[in-house]
Amino acid sequence: MAAAETYEAVHVEKEGGITWLMINRPDKRNAMSPQVHLEMDAVLDDLAVDSATEILVLTGAGNSFCAGQDSKLYFRANAGDPAARHKLRRASNNWRWQKLSTFPKPTIAMVNGYCFGGAFTQVTACDIALAADDAMFGLSEVNWGILPGGIVPWNVAQTMNYRDALHYAMTGDSFDGKQAQQMGFVDFSYPKEKLREETIKLAKKLMEKSPATLCFTKEAIRAVRFMNEPQAADYLAAKSDALRFNDKEHSREEGMKQFLDEKSYRPGYGHFKRKRVSA
Ligand code: COA
């Protein structure tokens, strides 16, 4: 596996528990080349077990989040090579969905600019999505004569209103960050100059909470979406027990003690004081 410093098409910056992970092809509007996929596939494995990474922020270098698959290097260059296509499709889906949606720490997509086609998958895979007001989103595939790529139709059918998903996929019309917030595709949209500051604010808020509780909570929300009620009830009871067993900070006991005995906080207004233990 390549060391973080050797990555070229992706860039990693770590500061104060936040890891900024960027596609680093600003001159190509961060279109996803084969190299992007292979490097992202590797770097996410590193970061998943990296103790300096408490929160992962996915964004893009320059003025673009990601302009979708690189039509030249991902599609055209491999058109006659089924083996290469297979390998790249695997890497592309692995990092954008499997690895990102099951990442063991909170993930934030910070959509700083263009966000097209295949990039909708990694936005959906992140736990929380923030956008610049003037970010430009588009399911432009219909303008190329192709279907939205990979699992994008599945992603938008789940995160967008049914009518919006059909409308934007069929027209290829773009929409901005504010519209993305209105339709629930992102959580919040901010003026561009505030986006990073708001992202850091959110990351810091999440870092005050129990990491094990956050990890189990996001896993639970994702899993129950595909269950019926009896399955969900059974799964959640077991998940809850598993959290108590796995939480090295003993958050439940700590929270109860601080609320009931010490009366030092109220859960309705904010979090208890974490008893941090090293990973
Ligand atoms: N695949 C390959 N190259 C891409 C790309 C993509 N998806 N998106 C941008 N690029 C390249 C351009 O070809 C150009 O390369 P060049 O400098 O060698 O000519 C460079 O990135 C800059 O793009 P440009 O179009 O000049 O920038 P812009 O700021 O005027 O427009 C976009 C930005 C994102 C609106 C425009 O590039 C675009 O529509 N890209 C395609 C987006 C898309 O449909 N993605 C889905 C792919 S399935």
For the CA of 70, the nearest atom of ligand 1: 1
CB within 8 Å of 194: residues ≥ 6 apart: none
Top mutation candidate among 27, 29, 75, 136 for ligand 1, by most atoms within 8 Å of CB: 29
Q: Which two tokens stand for residue 130?
A: 């923030």
**Cβ burial, residue 67 (10 Å; 0-12/13-18/19+):** buried
d(CA 61, CA 90): 24
**Ligand 1 center to 28 CA (angstroms):** 6
- E strand map for the chain: 10-15, 18-23, 55-60, 64-66, 107-111, 114-116, 128-132, 136-138, 174-176, 188-190
Whether 199 lines ligand 1, by a CB cut-off of 6 Å, is no
Residue 71 predicted with pLDDT over 80: yes
Residues 229-269: tens digit of each pLDDT? 999 999 999 999 999 999 999 999 999 999 999 999 999 99
CB within 8 Å of 206: residues ≥ 6 apart: 54, 55, 106, 214
Mean pLDDT across the stretch 196-203?
Answer: 98
CB 178 within 8 Å of CB 186: no
Query: Vertex 44, ends 107 and 151: CA angle to 5°?
Result: 75
Mean pLDDT across the stretch 143-166?
Answer: 95
Mean pLDDT across the stretch 211-231?
Answer: 97
One-letter amino acid at 200 equals: I
**Whole-number average pLDDT of the chain:** 95
Q: What percent of the chain has pLDDT over 70?
A: 97
pLDDT score for 5:
55
d(CA 115, CA 31): 10
The residue to which tokens 């598993």 are assigned: 242
**Ligand 1 center to 29 CA (angstroms):** 6
d(CA 8, CA 195): 25
- pLDDT class of 2 with cuts at 50, 70, 90: very low
For atom 4 of ligand 1, which residue has the closest CA? 28
For atom 45 of ligand 1, which residue has the closest CA? 68
Q: pTM to 2 decimals? A: 0.96
CB 132 within 8 Å of CB 195: yes
